[in-house]
């Protein structure tokens, strides 16, 4: 098989057959492009600083995003990126977050001494922002919101993003799962001088093992939030090489993203036909928030695990007992999940 024939095809089917069915992960189930594997296998400078390669990647990513290279910050993974951004917001005011959501960003804020303030989402996981509430927040507050949100898959509407941008000192919109959504809030980073958009190769490009993330930051905030621009040597060479290879094979990688989006729709239809679970909320990510109907979510998660299918527990206390997160994978994985759920149903 030629290098061209293998582009974007992900891991071989033989690898999938011997692995457990992992529907608890947010990384693309097709894995990285084979060009990533080939680039890493042929690399002779993994022991060196990323340097010029990182600058080239930054320029190429900026062109893809339609922004100036000077506005793009690269980091060794999205957690590292958020940790650095939160550290530079410390001292201005609290960070407003919107649970139920991924708890990790709040933990990262706590690590750097940035206090957080919860604005709880509605039962349908909408932010439903009220101008009066925003006006009553402490002076100098900033906001962090995932769009699409984990675990619900809901997106931040453009009008609410604008409302946040008009009131917050800094608004960080985390689009790590955004490749699976038909829309992006990226244009707000050009319209507002206080909006930061963050993304990562870790999810849609299958590079969870080689963390590489970016932030798009407007000119007004660059001096405050981008002191490390130009310091590509701080990046891991392997991640930079993987990012460059992904950009080289971008059409094929985005083809894998489209396959996951199609399988997400099939997963939704499959689960809707079973009485073990329900899918009460629409999603714009590569996962569904699923409600257990005939038993508790922890019981169902454990029963699936015994049958070789792993799905994700939801950490939020208000959701943990009844819901779980199930990611869209390959068709064979959806089929195995269906068989396991039917088998479990027969035992109840």
pLDDT of residue 225: 80
pLDDT of residue 233: 53
Burial class (CB in 10 A: 0-12, 13-18, 19+), 45: exposed
Report whether 87 contacts 96 (CB < 8 A): no
Q: What angle do CA 311, 288, 21 make, to 5 degrees?
A: 30
CA dist., res. 32 & res. 36, Å (int):
6
Q: How far is CA 342 from the centre of its chain?
A: 30
By residue count, the chain amounts to: 348
Please report, in tens digits, the pLDDT of each residue of the chain (348 residues total): 334 444 444 444 434 344 589 999 999 999 999 999 999 999 998 988 888 899 999 999 999 999 999 899 999 999 999 999 999 999 889 999 999 999 999 999 999 999 999 999 999 999 988 878 888 899 999 999 999 999 999 999 999 999 999 999 999 999 999 999 988 999 998 899 999 999 999 999 999 999 999 999 998 888 888 764 444 558 999 999 999 999 999 999 999 999 999 999 999 999 999 999 999 988 999 999 999 999 999 999 999 999 999 999 999 999 999 999 999 999 999 999 999 999 999 998
Q: Where along the chain do the CATH 3.90.1150.10 domains lie?
A: 15-33+250-347
CA dist., res. 167 & res. 159, Å (int):
13
pLDDT of residue 124: 92
pLDDT of residue 108: 97
Q: Where along the chain do the CATH 3.40.640.10 domains lie?
A: 34-248
pLDDT of residue 288: 98
Identify the sign of the CA torsion 169, 161, 70, 84.
positive
CA dist., res. 48 & res. 28, Å (int):
29
Report whether 35 contacts 250 (CB < 8 A): no
Burial class (CB in 10 A: 0-12, 13-18, 19+), 344: buried
- Looking at 3.30.1280.10, 3.40.50.300, 2.70.150.10, 3.40.640.10, the CATH number of the domain 34-248 comes to 3.40.640.10
pLDDT of residue 20: 81
pLDDT of residue 178: 96
CA dist., res. 130 & res. 152, Å (int):
21
Burial string for 60-70 (b: 16+ CB within 10 Å, else e) reads bbbeebebeee
Does CATH number 3.30.450.20 belong to domain 15-33+250-347?
A: no
pLDDT of residue 261: 97
pLDDT of residue 229: 43
């Amino acid at each position: 098989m030629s290098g061209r024939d293998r582009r974007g095809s992900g891991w071989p089917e033989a690898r999938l057959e011997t692995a457990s069915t992992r529907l608890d992960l947010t990384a693309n189930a097709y894995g990285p492009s084979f060009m990533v594997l080939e680039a890493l296998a042929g690399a002779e400078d993994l022991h060196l600083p990323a340097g010029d390669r990182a600058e080239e990647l930054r320029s190429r990513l900026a062109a893809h995003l339609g922004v100036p290279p000077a506005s793009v910050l690269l980091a060794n993974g999205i957690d590292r990126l958020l940790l650095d951004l939160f550290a530079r917001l410390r001292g201005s005011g609290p960070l407003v977050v919107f649970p139920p959501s991924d708890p990790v960003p709040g933990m990262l804020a706590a690590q750097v001494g940035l206090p957080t303030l919860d604005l709880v989402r509605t039962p349908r996981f909408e932010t439903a922002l009220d101008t009066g509430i925003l006006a009553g927040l402490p002076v100098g507050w900033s906001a962090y919101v995932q769009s699409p949100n984990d675990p619900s898959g809901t997106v931040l509407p453009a009008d609410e993003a604008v409302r946040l941008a008009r009131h917050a000192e800094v608004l960080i919109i985390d689009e790590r799962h955004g490749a699976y959504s038909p829309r992006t809030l990226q244009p707000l980073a050009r319209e507002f001088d206080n909006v930061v958009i963050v993304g990562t190769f870790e999810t849609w490009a299958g590079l969870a093992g080689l963390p590489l993330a970016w932030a798009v930051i407007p000119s007004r905030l660059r001096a405050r939030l981008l002191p490390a621009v130009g310091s590509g040597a701080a990046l891991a060479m392997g991640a930079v090489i993987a990012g460059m290879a992904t950009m080289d094979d971008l059409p094929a990688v985005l083809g894998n993203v489209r396959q996951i989006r199609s399988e997400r729709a099939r997963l939704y239809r499959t689960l809707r036909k079973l009485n073990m679970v329900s899918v009460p909320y629409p999603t714009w990510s590569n996962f569904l928030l699923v409600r257990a109907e005939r038993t508790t979510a922890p019981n169902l998660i454990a029963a699936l695990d015994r049958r070789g299918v792993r799905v994700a527990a939801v950490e939020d206390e208000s959701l943990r007992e009844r819901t779980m997160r199930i990611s869209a994978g390959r068709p064979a994985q959806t089929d195995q999940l269906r068989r396991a759920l039917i088998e479990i149903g027969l035992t109840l």
